[in-house]
Chain A
Amino acid sequence: DTAVSQTPKYLVTQMGNDKSIKCEQNLGHDTMYWYKQDSKKFLKIMFSYNNKELIINETVPNRFSPKSPDKAHLNLHINSLELGDSAVYFCASSQIQGGDAEAFFGQGTRLTVV
């Protein structure tokens, strides 16, 4: 039973399209995240979200928007895709309140924009 699952695993799309990546966690954690891993394998936090607060990394373009239908889901919607958006996107979750912030990661979504 996968703790953090994200779909799809691979996504190939054309410039200008809008796409979404879905993420679900079954760990009961209070906080979820989206990270971007670029071609040099650098992991950068994009968003963190719990029931109370969305924290946005100020360097993330506003074409990227997280959407959370409930505590166990945090989807990533991307508008007007650009070539530079090609990367691997990781969803993660952790327990911040009363926890140690250990993050559990999904398997990643490799996005290729052509």
Chain B
Amino acid sequence: AQSVTQLGSHVSVSEGALVLLRCNYSSSVPPYLFWYVQYPNQGLQLLLKYTSAATLVKGINGFEAEFKKSETSFHLTKPSAHMSDAAEYFCAVSEAGTALIFGKGTTLSVSS
């Protein structure tokens, strides 16, 4: 069965610092992988997705993620954090034809 593990329920960075949010997945078939962001009292917005094309995926707001099959990882990075990046981030996996299964989320805090 597919599953997602997000390492670190809370990550704190300073404005301008590197953001690294970790995600490892388990899937019996080549997966589709997603990162979503949730701002307070809002729905989920797609940041980026991996669907078996390029392993380095660029998303919105300067975020990117790299699919590493050998490590079963799909970590999210951003070179320079901005205050507006503070939010909840979810990694999700889907095996073709199935609903997204989400990790438990990582709260990103950004301090000035």
Contact = CB atoms under 8 A, between A and B. Distances in A.
Interface in B13-55: 32, 34, 36, 38, 42-46, 49, 51
* Secondary structure type dominating chain B contacts: strand
B32 A90 contact: no
Interface in A66-97: 90, 92, 94, 96
Contact of B105 (A4, A41, A106): A41
Given A102-B46, A105-B44, A42 B104 contact: yes
A90 to B, nearest CB: 6
Nearest to A101: B94
A44 B99 CA distance: 10
A55 B105 contact: no
Contacts of B105: 41-43
Chain B interface size, as a band, is 20 to 34
Contacts, number: 58
The residue in B32, B38, B42 that gathers the most chain A C-beta atoms within 10 A of its C-beta is B38
Contacts of B45: 105
B86 to A, nearest CB: 14
The secondary structure that dominates the A interface is strand
A57 to B, nearest CB: 9
Contacts of A44: 102
B57 interface: no
B63 interface: no
A100 B44 contact: no
Interface in A98-114: 100-108
B7 interface: no
